[in-house]
DNA sequence: GAAACGATTTGATCTAAATCACAATCCATG
DNA sequence: CATGGATTGTGATTTAGATCAAATCGTTTC
């Protein structure tokens, strides 16, 4: 009974690990996704606008996104909110809560999403007997740290249009790694949320979008973005 | 022979773990520090201005700071540098390199420092048989992620003086947790490095220091800082 | 101890992005 | 399908911080 349970969890976790490889540039993803689809972990549906977890809640599990789109944000005492990340299929959320065993940010679904809940104590147990899992956990956390440092550079050093260009290119790369079009995608977040993430006001984001369109770099129709000239966007980053 | 070696490493690592607890608000630090001082890990001296590691170098170990002061920074293609952190006694550096097995930032000593080099494969082995170590590794990485999110909020949402106030209060807290004065300390970094960390220019940092002094919040003499009114600084954060 | 260099402070000006304002458009819901 | 609130786009104005400039202070070097 218990054996079966552990084995099942093991399956979950294996798929999770390979799934995460999506974030690497290489694109050997599809069959892994189907594996994930076949597994029987504790899934949950989170509707648009619903919280997956909130700041201050007891930490019990990390979450792998099977489909959909999330934002995470931290709240300052004075009410200021800062969006710390956007998360999509294959991403892991909740890793920042391990140290305090309390969630340090809010996670909200930006569209109807399905997540796979992975009890953290179970995961820890498993990773003690499964070196590859252990290793991958470290990798995932390490990658998040390194990525956050990139964002810090962006927030600290880049001008508005550079930030937006970097943002669009990053989204494009991530969609592409998941088998979607790199050149054309639907934004799930508002201009205000993009602004919060990039340290800009929504008007500035809107103006930058318009400017990129004027210059023929992208085409914008509300939330539908088409990258017309990705190299042009990349050039913006090497000012 | 091998047993002894492992045991030795275990000692290193145990001290490392408890040492890291310094970062918690509670201050039960001194005896742990002495433990650290007594251990026989592979120590190394890093002189002021020397690199502990550089971007692109192969990752092999993480580093626990026994004494001294470091900065880490990421470099953008165009030459722009962004300081991602300042690190002192008890802090662990190099965690962001696990995922790619390549260092993603530079680490430079800002004063003559002593570090304890912890080979990562050895650490991984050990953590497989030592649950508490395993757990603490996760905690340390998780804490860094959560802390980086705080910095992102600071870079994205706060004004210049708020950032500097938050910076000073954070330094004060960390010095205090290590048994040093919370009210009076020597800055190890230049105004330019502070500015790079906070997303400001050195002139802005200098002006903010002067302003704080005029208002009686702190006293500044070059690198010597005295916090006269920590509550006043905290009030600045709740604008 | 003079010279040279780097770090800091302070002032004057400039500019990118914030703020304010409002119209246009979308879309959610009864 | 009509209505109201949210979202977006754009213009006018303001402002925080960048940039430019210069003097002062400290430290290292010869």
Beta carbons of A126 and A13 less than 8 angstroms apart: yes
DSSP secondary-structure letter at A27?
A: -
Across the interface, of A124, A134, A148, the residue whose CB is closest to B145 is A148
What architecture is domain A42-153?
A: Sandwich (2.60)
Report the pLDDT value the prediction gives residue A27, as an integer from 0 to 100.
28
CA of B95 to C1' of D26 (A): 37
d(CA B122, CA A141): 19
Torsion angle of C-alpha atoms A201, A202, A203, A209, degrees rounded to 10: 120
DSSP annotation string for A30-88: HHHHHHHHH---EEEEE-TT-EEE-TTSBP-EEEEEEEEEEEEEEE-TTS-EEEEEEEE
Chain B contact set for A102 (CB, 8 A): none
Q: Do A141 and B139 touch (CB under 8 A)?
A: no
Is A26 within 8 Å of chain B by CB? no
Conformational region of residue B174, where left means phi above 0, alpha means psi within -120 to 50, and beta covers everything else: alpha
Across the interface, of A146, A148, A153, the residue whose CB is closest to B76 is A153
Residue A104: pLDDT band by 50, 70, 90 thresholds? very high
Report the pLDDT value the prediction gives residue A136, as an integer from 0 to 100.
85
Residue intervals of chain B classified under CATH 1.10.10.10 are 158-237
d(CA B143, CA A98): 8
At a CB cut-off of 8 Å and minimum separation 6, what does A2 contact?
none
d(CA B91, CA B198): 20
Among B62, B75, B102, B142, the residue to mutate for chain A (most A Cβ within 10 A): B142
Question: Residue A38 pairs with which residues in a beta bridge?
Answer: none
Among B55, B130, B134, B145, the residue to mutate for chain A (most A Cβ within 10 A): B145
Q: What pTM was estimated for this model as a whole? A: 0.87
Is A211 within 8 Å of chain B by CB? no
Report the pLDDT value the prediction gives residue A168, as an integer from 0 to 100.
98
Residue intervals of chain B classified under CATH 2.60.120.10 are 42-153
Q: Among all chains, which residue has been given the structure tokens 């592409």? A: A176
Mean pLDDT confidence for A130-151: 90
Q: Pick from A152, A234, A178: which is nearest to A27 by CA?
A: A178
Nucleotide of closest approach to A213 (CA, C1'): D9
Report the pLDDT value the prediction gives residue A180, as an integer from 0 to 100.
95
Residues of chain B numbered 66-125 and touching chain A (CB < 8 Å) = 74, 76-78, 80, 82, 84, 95-100, 104-105, 124
Per cent of chain B over pLDDT 70 is: 82
Query: How many contacts, defined by CB atoms under 8 Å, are there between A and B?
Result: 143
Residues of chain A numbered 184-203 and touching chain B (CB < 8 Å) = 196-199
Q: Do A104 and B146 touch (CB under 8 A)?
A: yes
Q: Among all chains, which residue has been given the structure tokens 């590859």? A: A132
Can you read off the two tokens belonging to residue B10?
């275990």
Torsion angle of C-alpha atoms B134, B137, B138, B141, degrees rounded to 10: -170
Report the pLDDT value the prediction gives residue B171, as an integer from 0 to 100.
98
Q: Please write the tens of the pLDDT for every residue from B142-184.
A: 999 999 999 999 999 999 999 999 999 999 999 999 999 999 9
Report the pLDDT value the prediction gives residue A142, as an integer from 0 to 100.
96
Report the pLDDT value the prediction gives residue A226, as an integer from 0 to 100.
97
Mean pLDDT confidence for A223-239: 93
DSSP annotation string for B220-231: EETTEEEES-HH
Residue B218: pLDDT band by 50, 70, 90 thresholds? very high
Beta carbons of B107 and B53 less than 8 angstroms apart: yes
d(CA B107, CA B193): 13
Can you read off the two tokens belonging to residue B140?
């340390």
Nucleotide of closest approach to A203 (CA, C1'): D9
Q: Please write the tens of the pLDDT for every residue from A25-47.
A: 222 244 433 443 443 357 899 99
A121: closest chain B residue by CA: B135
Q: Are strands A224-227 and A184-186 parallel, antiparallel or unpaired?
A: antiparallel
d(CA A134, CA A121): 13
Q: What is the mean pLDDT of chain B?
A: 85
d(CA B16, CA B38): 12
- The b/e string for A89-126 (b: 16+ C-beta within 10 A; e otherwise) is bbbbbbbbbbbeeebbbbbbbbbebebbbbebebbbeb
The bases of strand C with some atom under 7 A from any protein CB are 7-12, 16-21, 26-27
Can you read off the two tokens belonging to residue B231?
């509550």
Across the interface, of A99, A138, A139, the residue whose CB is closest to B139 is A99
Mean pLDDT confidence for B36-50: 71
Q: Please write the tens of the pLDDT for every residue from B92-132.
A: 999 999 999 999 999 999 999 999 888 888 888 878 877 77
Report the pLDDT value the prediction gives residue A94, as an integer from 0 to 100.
96
Q: Do A137 and B134 touch (CB under 8 A)?
A: no
d(CA A212, CA A214): 6
Report the pLDDT value the prediction gives residue B126, as an integer from 0 to 100.
79
Beta carbons of A140 and A87 less than 8 angstroms apart: no
Report the pLDDT value the prediction gives residue A31, as an integer from 0 to 100.
43
A98 phi and psi angles, rounded to 5 deg: -60, -45
Torsion angle of C-alpha atoms A173, A174, A176, A179, degrees rounded to 10: 170
Mean pLDDT confidence for A59-68: 93
Question: Residue B87 pairs with which residues in a beta bridge?
Answer: B70
Fold of B158-237: Arc Repressor Mutant, subunit A (1.10.10)
Is A138 within 8 Å of chain B by CB? yes
Q: Please write the tens of the pLDDT for every residue from A156-180.
A: 999 999 999 999 999 999 999 999 9
């Amino acid at each position: 009974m218990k054996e079966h349970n552990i084995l099942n969890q093991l399956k979950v976790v294996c798929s999770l690990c390979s799934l995460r490889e999506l974030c690497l540039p290489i694109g050997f993803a599809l069959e892994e996704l189907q594996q994930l689809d076949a597994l029987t972990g504790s899934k949950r549906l989170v509707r648009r606008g619903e919280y997956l977890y909130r700041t201050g809640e007891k930490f019990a599990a990390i979450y792998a996104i099977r489909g959909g789109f999330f934002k995470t944000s931290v709240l300052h005492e004075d009410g200021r909110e800062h969006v710390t990340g956007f998360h999509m299929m294959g991403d892991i959320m909740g890793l920042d809560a391990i140290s305090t065993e309390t969630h340090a940010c809010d996670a909200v679904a930006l569209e109807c999403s399905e997540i796979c809940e992975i009890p953290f104590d179970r995961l820890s147990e498993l990773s003690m007997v499964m070196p590859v899992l252990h290793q991958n956990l470290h990798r995932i956390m390490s990658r998040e740290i390194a990525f956050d440092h990139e964002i810090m550079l962006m927030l600290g050093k880049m001008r508005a249009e550079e930030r937006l260009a970097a943002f669009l290119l990053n989204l494009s790369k991530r969609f592409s790694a998941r088998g979607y079009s790199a050149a054309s995608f639907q934004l799930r977040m508002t201009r205000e949320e993009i602004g919060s993430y990039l340290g800009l006001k929504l008007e500035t984001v809107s103006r930058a979008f318009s400017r990129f369109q004027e210059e023929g770099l992208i085409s914008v129709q509300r939330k539908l973005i088409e990258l017309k000239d990705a190299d042009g966007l990349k050039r913006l980053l090497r000012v």
